A and B are shown apart, each in its own frame.
Chain A
């Protein structure tokens, strides 16, 4: 009886923790309660329909683009063997290291009339700055999310399903569309949800390309119109889109069960000709999303290579890695805590806690960062006022403007990645496993340590590495919240790039890309680990 009460109490503690993590978003979005802003009619009559329409268009285009590239490459990599297969396994993830705003600046430079490509080809190249170009940029850097999820699903698919379809007379295309694809759908939708959320929340790319979206609209309304209420309400619209996406994702996941049974299908080896052709095709997104931009950055930074030796460059790198590492650990640990606690006991507060934890991904980074500033400063002020009331000395700001604030913000922002990843991973483990362990006398801590953690190695590593790479690229949080005299690579690159000093921005940008490569390679290795047994 006592133990039950304890578990219930812990449920509320978990909910409180989730509320703290969601607080920066909630303080911003909560302004809906204040009623519509007086500027709302003006917005609705002028810019709002355009924002919504453009955001939908970008989401649709990017969704389609990442599906085609992500699912196509995942299927080829999972089911076929051809020359260069091993190299492609990790190369296909490389564009993940490239922030969308950076690739947007780089491609603009590449295609500019004075740029290297134009000079080399001596044909007029299209201007990518516009909605179509934005879709292209997002697709190039975001397809790895879909690829990552879909590939794991395709590998896990049983040979039996394919065999049955074959004996029933289904050709390869039909087998792909009627068997493989539906079975992998939950995983694909999970990847797609991440893609769409990143697309909707992006600011840097669309601002540079002059594409008015909900995200740029929030900035303009808040800072140009000076109307925080209306801006927060626009952010609420984005949040709503996020809720819908999460619901879709959850819904899709509930339909998976059958996929994992039986022996995985053996991959088919392609003949040399078609195999090389396929390999070339698969290199295309890597060429466009990583290699060409990297070469352009290299070209720009060559005359400035001496900056590498500057002591402050090492400091930049160090701070970036520290923030990314701490965020990866914090987000993965908290994600595991919330998801695992819900598996132990799926009561209402614990379910709510797991659901609340993903909201940070839905709003543009600066909005979230300002939310964090407001929350942490309120806590600091409360602490100081409290201590002052007790007649004690006041410590000043303990949380605001520290690395803790930056790491907290990044954790809030990327928590959804481990939450989604570990949720999917735990669902693949049969509840019978838990019952067996418990009946053998394992307490929850032992269950976690000896059963769940080893079986969750793949999703844990994947989540942590994804958060690491994402944090490395993350800019607004570090920009607003960081302590005095502290910079990161992303801050340096963005400051220079946004002032259109692309050449000066190239070196830190290149460093972001290269620092992202190591975790991407690790990511591939972690995926090679044989899959956890399932249901």
Chain B
């Protein structure tokens, strides 16, 4: 019984200490961007403005559910995700408010934000082809569509279709080529896989370097992080593969964004907007490139030396809202094609 009393006391204490937030000048962030990849920027924002930033990180799906369940009482001001699909879902659930900011509209290209201002892209990540230069002649590479070509039988590595970046890629293919053609493409791709999907994007890069496959489809910043790794071995592996920008004669490479939207019940919407504007500022945009090897959403911001070493590319200007709209269809197509 004494133990029970102790428990009650303990729980009450935690409730009191954590339950009541103080009302200072603050902004509350739910972020699917991992702590290490957002905290330094938030700290910089606090330094400059004196606004305290409170942060929770977690999977976007879970954060969206939490936002939804908390409803009008939610303390969250800003939702940050690392793909457009989840922002679209939050938007569909009515969790995001419209924001009108000339600054944001000017800095973020229209394809990379929701037309009504419910969310804005903060950084661009390309999903591209990497290849082993000793086994693949880049002249034989052309488009995502051509990855289904029989010449690549048993030569392609790609991660599981559970992954949102693959779901978004397939959604973009459905948007451009239609569902039947994409289904056929997915079947061709599955037939060309060197192995059952396993691991993350870095693992696919390693597999190409190790000779387990000749091509892989990965997000650019993974390669960037590996090429800039502390560990010499990792850098060496990453330099054994080359980047190929697909669909350059057509629509350009498939891109996704990390982005953010102000929540519908934000207690501090003004601070949230200030933070959003800070996140697309020149300084922040350069930070994404230097720290996580992502591309800026703002045209004209200089990228890092490493990113420049891969050369320039043309990117798909499909409105990213489409990726969200077609996500469920993409999952079904991959289910049907047997893409694990």
Contacts and interface: CB of A to CB of B under 8 A. Distances in A.
Q: Indicate whether A and B interact.
A: yes
Interface of A: 42-43, 46-47, 108, 112-114, 127, 129-130, 207-210, 212, 216, 219-220, 222-227, 303, 322, 326, 329-330, 333, 337, 366, 369-370, 373-374, 376-378, 380-381, 384, 394-404, 407, 445, 449, 476, 479-487, 491-492, 495-496, 498-501, 503-504
Contacts of B200: 208, 498-500
Given A479-B58, A496-B34, A129 B199 contact: yes
B296 to A, nearest CB: 21
A400 B70 contact: yes
Contact of B59 (A330, A479, A482): A479
B18 A225 contact: no
A224 B54 contact: no
Contacts of A329: 3, 6-7, 10
A459 B203 CA distance: 44
B6 A402 contact: no
Contact of B231 (A481, A499, A503): A503
Contacts, number: 186
Contacts of B58: 479-480
10 closest Cβ pairs, A-B complex: A377-B69, A484-B54, A210-B198, A480-B62, A46-B335, A223-B61, A403-B14, A500-B202, A224-B331, A129-B198
Contact of B335 (A42, A227, A384, A481): A42
Contacts of A492: 35
Contact of A130 (B15, B196, B234, B328): B196
A484 B62 contact: no
Interface string B279-314: 000000000000000000000000000000000000
B162 A484 contact: no
Contact of A495 (B4, B35, B210): B35
B328 A226 contact: yes
Given A210-B159, A224-B162, A366-B62, A46 B56 contact: no
Question: Which of B19, B70, B159, B200 counts the most chain A CB atoms within 10 A?
Answer: B19
Given A209-B198, A402-B19, A220 B331 contact: yes
- Give chain A's interface secondary structure class: helix
A47 B162 CA distance: 12
21 contacts: A47-B335, A209-B199, A210-B159, A220-B162, A225-B328, A225-B331, A225-B332, A326-B7, A330-B11, A366-B59, A366-B62, A402-B15, A403-B18, A407-B11, A480-B65, A491-B57, A495-B35, A498-B200, A500-B199, A500-B202, A504-B36
B18 A227 contact: no
B221 to A, nearest CB: 10
Contacts of A219: 61, 162
Nearest to A220: B162
Given A378-B69, A398-B19, A113 B210 contact: yes
B196 A227 contact: no
Contacts of B21: 484
**Size category of the binding interface on chain B:** 35 or more
Contacts of B210: 113
A244 to B, nearest CB: 27
Contact of A377 (B28, B71, B160): B71
Contacts of B18: 402-404, 483, 486
A114 B196 CA distance: 21
A250 B58 CA distance: 38
B233 interface: yes
B237 interface: yes
B331 A326 contact: no
B162 A404 contact: no
A402 B14 contact: yes
Nearest to A322: B14
Contacts of A207: 160, 162
B222 A485 contact: no
